[in-house]
Amino acid sequence: MYDQTYHLTVNGKSVQVTAAPDTKLMDVLRDQLRLTGVKDGCATGHCGSCMVIQDGKAVRACLVLMKRADGANITTIEGIAGANGELHPIQQAFIDHGATQCGFCTPGFVMSAKALLDKNPHPTLPEIHKALEWNICRCTGHNAILRAVQDLAGQPVPPLPSVKKPLHAISQPLPRPDAVAKVNGTGIYVDDLYIAGMLHGKTLRSAYPHARLKRVDASKARALPGVVAVLTADDVPGRKDFGVHEIDWPVLCYDKVRYVGDAIALVAAESEARADDALKLIEVVYEPLPVVAGPKQAAQPNAPLVHEHPEKFAPHAHGNFLAHFALD
């Protein structure tokens, strides 16, 4: 599909970008405008890490296509701080209430909260829940986040204590040293790194939970312009398996796959889109094998063996644990 020119207002500035009509707004903001505070958490609209405000409404940027965004007014986490970099009250509240841990999801929560409070300065708790329903946090927990928004809905935000004061005050609330970077979107995660001329890597993963690999042909992928390398198990030097306790995990699968997502091939290309194209050109012929779907099935005498030669990986393996021990 041919690229087209689109006009946006992003954080108060008029910008012009070129992209295919079906390109995600998230990708344009991250890859072209380098606004990496817009996080790519799932790319399917489930996590809310890419939340931005479009024409006054909180939207998940991974679900907005450029053909529907032309002329839009977009605000990202980078655009809500003051002129001199002072934190927005919402960002300050997240710090004060300890509503940041890993910080990856924080920009999305902040933008959802801002969209709510811009329209309704005094929301009820159910209204706050509703506004944050498309945001997911795995590590901080939602209670601290809810308290931060509730605080702004009815009480002034206290000033931020200095993070440079002596840190020997037991039982005193202290902000995380990296809290500011997490609430203003400047925290850098792996997917935010950018180096001129860098390559983009992708992994071809198994579509089957248990299958024998009859053939892996990467010749078409290697011939694709813009693809620098395609690696399979044949390219692994030395030992093809590794492990922590037992050497039972292939670097890249060469005889069979043992779970959905097992790694079969690696691609390095000049762009992420070209790496995705290369994955589609790798031909894999599977011979599906019986699936072990749970411990009860695995304990049966004739259960399929995920590892057909367990003694190769664990010299003292004797099979069914329950057959050797009496459990109360």
Region 9-18: what's the mean pLDDT? 97
Both 174 and 31 in a single domain? yes
Whole-model pTM over 0.85: no
Same domain as 239, residue 113 = no
* Cα–Cα distance for residue pair 160/137, rounded to 1 Å: 23
Residues 61 and 153 both lie in one domain? yes
Domain count, the chain: 2
Identify the CATH number of the domain in which residue 185 sits.
3.10.20.30
Same domain as 249, residue 170 = no
pLDDT of residue 321: 63
- Where a domain ends, among 175, 194, 213? 194
Check whether 162 has a pLDDT greater than 50. Answer: yes
Q: Give the chain's mean pLDDT.
A: 90
Q: State residue 309's pLDDT score.
A: 72
Does residue 277 or residue 152 have the better pLDDT? 277
Between the alpha carbon of residue 203 and those of residues 7, 252, 264, 269, 316, the distances in Å are: 34, 10, 7, 12, 34
- Whether residues 174 and 200 share a domain: the answer is no
Question: Token pair for residue 10?
Answer: 């992003």
Same domain, 211 and 93: no
Sheet (strand 4-10) strand order? 13-19, 4-10, 73-75, 51-54, 57-60
**Whether pLDDT at 122 is above 90:** yes
60 and 187: one domain? yes
Shared-domain flag, residues 91 and 230 = no
Region 302-324: what's the mean pLDDT? Answer: 69
Residue 294 pairs in a beta bridge with none
142 phi/psi in degrees, rounded to 5: -80, -20
* Joined tokens for residue 153: 């809905």
Domain boundary among 160, 194, 228: 194
The vertex-99 CA angle with 98 and 104, nearest 5°, equals 125
Quote the CA–CA distance of 185 and 178 in Å, as a whole number: 11
Q: Which of 126, 160, 194 is the last residue of a domain?
A: 194
Indicate whether 184 and 48 sit together in one domain. Answer: yes
Co-location of 200 and 190 in the same domain:
no
Both 166 and 235 in one domain: the answer is no
User: What pLDDT score does 83 carry?
Assistant: 82
pLDDT at 100: 92
How far is the CA of 207 from the CAs of 144, 211, 252, 286, 308, in angstroms?
A: 39, 9, 14, 9, 20
Distance CA 240, CA 118 (A): 56
Please state, in angstroms and rounded to a whole number, the distance separating the CA atoms of residues 9 and 235: 47
Q: Residue 270 is part of a domain; what is its CATH number?
A: 3.90.1170.50
pLDDT, one tens digit per residue, over 23-40 is 999 999 999 999 999 999
Give the per-residue pLDDT at 157: 43
Range(s) of the domain holding residue 119? 1-194
pLDDT band at 156 (very low <50, low <70, confident <90, very high): very low
Is residue 295 domain-shared with residue 235, that is, in the same domain?
yes
Least confident of 13-22, 29-38, 305-314: 305-314
